[in-house]
Amino acid sequence: MTRQLPLFIRPQALSEAMGSHDVQIIAVDEPADFVRAHVPGALTLTMSSIMASQGATGGLLPDDNTLARILSDAGLRNDAQIVAYDRAGDGQAARLLYTLDAAAGHDRISLLDGGLAAWQAAGLPLEQGPPSAEPSDFRVTRQPDRIADREWIASRLDDDKTTILDVRSTAEFVGDDIRSARGGHVPGAVNLDWQHFKDDNGQLRPRAELEALLAEHDIRADREIAAYCQTHVRSSYVYLVLKYLGFGRVRGYPGAWSDWGNRDDTAIETGA
């Protein structure tokens, strides 16, 4: 039976679990960086391999066949608890875990809280060299109720049972920092920068603090939540946080602002 680990796992707890065949660790990393240093026994894939693009829109989910091939080539298994980490602030690993959860239907997932930096800070060993992956036959089952697209967002702009959560910086939200053809935000969206979910060490804040933060922004579990950023990397992290806190109806918006903000037929608001 597959071992169940917490959604956010600290380095020492992972170190104690990593000898189990049921646990697979995967680094979202560039090949040269992975070879130089990684968590012992980790598999790896690149961020670019799990994100598709269409014109100016980035951060889209690969199609089912492509995703199954990528995950299989990396050596991931359907019967494993998959623990992801990165060296870039947890967003890239979170995006892989969102993809596993929403696009592949694999919800036995964990994030190494704080990533490679936290592992090193805990004094745990590193390994060098390429991964020793055995190709698998990973099967994907898309979960539409975990995915929002442009049409879904547009149909719920005036729905008081839905919260559109923008986790970008305030400058992006108000339209001062423009990263697509147009700046601003989805009308009615709530802005809560994803960095507020982390403590000074870059790890997840205590549950009580997270719950107070969400309550302060009127983000409630009795509503459906759709989170977005620029290409659904930062918002993948927040997706996991909401799952961790027990929010039952959470979606991510792949493509995100690179989709919404690069069109001329989508409604946009600017300012606070």
- pTM of the entire structure? 0.97
| Nearest Cα to Cα of residue 205 among 71, 214, 267, 236 | 214
Residue 3 has pLDDT above 90, yes or no: no
Residue 205 has pLDDT above 80, yes or no: yes
pLDDT in tens, 49-84: 999 999 999 999 999 999 999 999 999 999 999 999
User: Which residues are the active-site residues?
Assistant: 229
Residue 1's pLDDT is 42
Tokens of 258: 């690179």
What average pLDDT does range 195-220 have in this prediction?
98
pLDDT in tens, 9-37: 999 999 999 989 999 999 999 999 999 99
pLDDT in tens, 172-185: 999 999 999 999 99
A 10 A CB-CB count for 141 gives 10
pLDDT in tens, 114-126: 999 999 999 999 9
Domains and CATH numbers, the chain: 8-142 (3.40.250.10), 148-260 (3.40.250.10)
Residues 6+ apart with CB under 8 A from 1: 22
